[in-house]
Structure 1
Amino acid sequence: MVILIANADKAAKQLQEILDQNEYQMYYEDDRNFLQIWWDRLTNWIGEQLAELFSGLEPSSGFADLVLFVVIAAVLILIGMVVFQRVRRSRRSRGFTEYKPLQSLNEAKWAFTDHLEAARKQEESENYTDAVRHTFLSLLLYFHETGRLKARNWKTNWEYLTELQQVDRQLADSFHQLAFVFDEVVYGERILEKDEYIHYRDEAFKWLHDGSREPDVSGES
């Protein structure tokens, strides 16, 4: 009887050793797919980190799952925001390259003071989209009249920016920002509030008559 018990214990021990071998462990793990294995290992790791961070805390498997879900959601949201900003920036850059502010030959013949007067009328009517357009065109034609660039109906803002960079870097940087807003409002259908337009207008006025005073729509210096 003693011999039978000893043999049974020995057989059980041998069976356990066989089951502990890698090939058998892999067999049992194969019952789960890759994502299940990955998820379980990650939640276990998170649970261990939480237990070390907060002494005495014994987070359950469900709690670790919740933490992991929140982390993954936050990462996905962050990735989405980055992708959105890059797409938006790409669209803005593409528009900045393609759009031609002086597409109308009639408007190209206007003086900068004509556009400035039109901008003021649109501002009084609270039509800030057209007010931005005329303000920007008045600035563009003012730069033409003062010899800083050559205004042409076939040129894009990117080409104007390149010309200004050869004349005045600070002026080019300011034009860059003003042109972006112009593209967003006129071509991208961005809606400006009154205070946003006032800020835009004041930035443009800094370069009209060198910012010494508000431009005179009569054309007199």
Structure 2
Amino acid sequence: MQNEEQARKQLESILNGKEYQVYYEDNRSILERLWDNFLMWLEENLNWSAPIGTSNGIPGFILIGMIVIVVIVLFFILLKKRMEKRTFELSQPLQRENELNWSFHKHLQEAEKQENEGNYSLATRHLFLAFLLYFHEREWVVAKIWKTNWEYYEELKKENNEVAKLFQKLALLFDQATYGEKDVKKEQYLLFRDEVVSWIKES
């Protein structure tokens, strides 16, 4: 009996020893543990089941890398949109008094001249001003040197929401060409020109 008790104590002592307990320890790195906790959270909250063995090597790190890349790309897309909106709100298309004195027909002629010379950025500028002054002549907006594209957009929304959206879209290219010092490519200009000219002819 005493031998049995002694044998049991000796067996417990051996089982509690470091050699046997090492199998029960968590030997994963901190990243693996965090990743497993993240996957468990996803599984619990989104009814999503992780691929088997994702923390056991490279596949888990590839997945987390892809998630990080997607988040970074989304961040930059949102940042770009915000910067475009800010530029749109602050830009003043009419910079000199003589630009306001020209008719929209004269700006269209100048745009065509610049297009023929291959200067698409300047052609874009004159085409946009023709578009703006066309609305001024129709009395949908009141063109002033101090006004911003945002103010013109707000005025156009009161008259025609569809036209206001087109104006906003075209103003972004105008802003990039004028303030962003971006060269407008021929293809971009031709799309821009076709939209403006067809809209003016239709109305």
TM-score by length of 2: 0.79
Q: Deviations over 1:162-195 (max 9, x none)?
A: 1111111221121121112211222223333212
Cα distance change, pair 82–5 in 1 and its aligned pair in 2 (3 A): same
In structure 2, what is the equivalent of residue 163 of structure 1? 155
**1:207 match: secondary structure:** helix
Letter in 1 for 2:34: W
In structure 2, what is the equivalent of residue 105 of structure 1? 97
**1:150 match: secondary structure:** coil
Q: Deviations over 1:142-162 (max 9, x none)?
A: 111121110000000110011
Check if 1:38 corresponds to 2:38: no
Letter in 2 for 1:78: V
Letter in 2 for 1:11: Q
Check if 1:124 corresponds to 2:116: yes
When the two chains are superposed, the root-mean-square deviation of aligned CA atoms in Å is 3.3
- Point out where structure 2 has 5 or more consecutive residues left out of the alignment: 40-48
Structure-to-structure mapping, 1:63-212, within 5 angstroms:
64-210=56-202
State the shift of 1:13 in Å.
1.6
Cα distance change, pair 109–33 in 1 and its aligned pair in 2 (3 A): same
Whether the aligned pair in 1 keeps the contact of 2:54 and 2:60 (CA below 8 Å) is: no
Letter in 2 for 1:143: F
State the shift of 1:49 in Å.
5.4
State the shift of 1:99 in Å.
0.7
**1:161 match: secondary structure:** helix
Whether the aligned pair in 1 keeps the contact of 2:104 and 2:130 (CA below 8 Å) is: yes
Q: Distance in 2 between matches of 1:121 and 1:194?
A: 14
TM-score by length of 1: 0.73
Q: Distance in 2 between matches of 1:204 and 1:110?
A: 17
Percent of aligned positions with the same letter in both sequences?
A: 34
Cα distance change, pair 50–188 in 1 and its aligned pair in 2 (3 A): same
Aligned residues, how many?
192
